[in-house]
Amino acid sequence: MGEHRKLLMIPGPVEVSPAVREAHDGPPPGHQAPELVEAFGQLLERMRILWKAPAGAQPFVVAGSGTLAMEMAAANLFEPGERALVVDTGYFSGRMAEILRRVGAEVTVEAAEPGRAVALEAVEAALDRVQPKAVFVTHVDTSTGVRMNAQAVGALARARGALTVVDGVCATAAEALSMEDGSIDLHLTGSQKALGLPAGLALFVASARAMEVRARRRSGPPPLYLDFASWRPIMEAYEARQKSYFATPATNLVQAAAVGTREIVEDRFEGVDGVDARVARHGHVACAFEAAWQVYGLRHLAEVPEARGHTLSALRYPEGIGPELLGHVAVHGVTVAGGLHPRLKGDYFRVGHMGWCTTQGALLERTVEAVGQGLCAAGHAVDVDAARAAFRGTFDA
Ligand code: PMP
């Protein structure tokens, strides 16, 4: 990695490992080439492991961004007039609600103030009141850094016969979630986040129940590219190491994804393996950043620690500083992001820390340093060396 290249520490896209880059940058494989068929098959098998998918669940990988997976969830699971409940913790819950309205769903939104999670009691009450076909929850909202207990939402919905769709775009492979107990029916993500891949793939696993809902649909099929039924035979063929074609897959990205998911499956940290190790790393890294942020006197938008995801820090600007901070940090070689929540946009900035970079202490420490130097340049004097030491002390612990 070139020393002088700016580090991309936004909440996606993220830095990727040298092996992922190499796999991506090779000559384009054909979609029926034996090496591509093998890579696709491996990717789907590894998704079953990372998602903790039960028997009968179906993994999908489709060229597009995370929003495509959201569209596919809505288009396959909903028919006009059916009720949906959206647990709203920020910007991306609003997008999900809009997608659902456009497929004709009757949408009820249960929202929290920006920076807060929705209480599980409120979710439970809304489930009882609305009796939705499905509840939609964002595991970590990228606009606020708020984390919901998606597993618990799934259990509440399951007990009432409703489906649960989890937007894991800012959480999958970084926050604990399992489909094993049948409480989650569709868990979706995009490649550019904690999976540590370049942007361009929508990835999700649908439960047997979700596949049944599509199969029993009465109001005509969803748009062709969005239809589970278009893609299922393709995914089955690749997993059986057979050639197939419906629409051209992003072949370079699939090769990169086979490598990136292998890195996660083979990870080991604090005595645990695979995705559990990756999840533990994200918690560890969030803690180490927290030690540095405290030295800088920075406060999270999500004030309650339990309601805070581990994949990013959404931090309020110190008094007298605003979005000009981003430019000052960039001068020191690191790109961080501004605010995104429409109501608070100018009040905070975001540092992404997800995916492969969680294994790279030196890159993370460079981020601590650049943010500190940026703060100093913006007129907020902080002790950069002390923050680096606090980071290192926690990271190495
Ligand atoms: N949901 C969440 C939580 C996200 O963070 C994002 C993207 N930042 C999306 C959905 C939409 O994904 P994409 O930009 O890949 O379409």
Average pLDDT over residues 94-104: 98
pLDDT of residue 396: 77
* b/e per residue 368-391 (b: at least 16 CB within 10 A): bbbbbbbbbebebebebeebbbbb
Give percent of the chain above pLDDT 70: 99
Tokens of 132: 């939705």
Interval between CA 11 and ligand 1 midpoint (Å)? 10
The answer, as to whether pTM is greater than 0.75, is: yes
Distance, CA of 172 to CA of 189 (rounded, Å): 6
Residue list, ligand 1 pocket, CB within 6 Å? 12, 65-67, 92, 138, 141-142, 167, 169-170, 190
Please measure the distance between the N-terminal and C-terminal CA atoms of the chain and give it in whole angstroms: 26
Q: How many CB atoms lie within 10 A of CB 274?
A: 18
Inter-residue contact 133 to 160 (CB < 8 Å): no
Tokens of 168: 């894991």
Interval between CA 233 and ligand 1 midpoint (Å)? 27
Interval between CA 192 and ligand 1 midpoint (Å)? 9
Inter-residue contact 191 to 201 (CB < 8 Å): yes
Average pLDDT over residues 140-161: 98
pLDDT digits (tens, 9 = 90+) for 164-175: 999 999 999 999
pLDDT band at 1 (very low <50, low <70, confident <90, very high): very low
Name the closest-CA residue to atom 6, ligand 1. 169
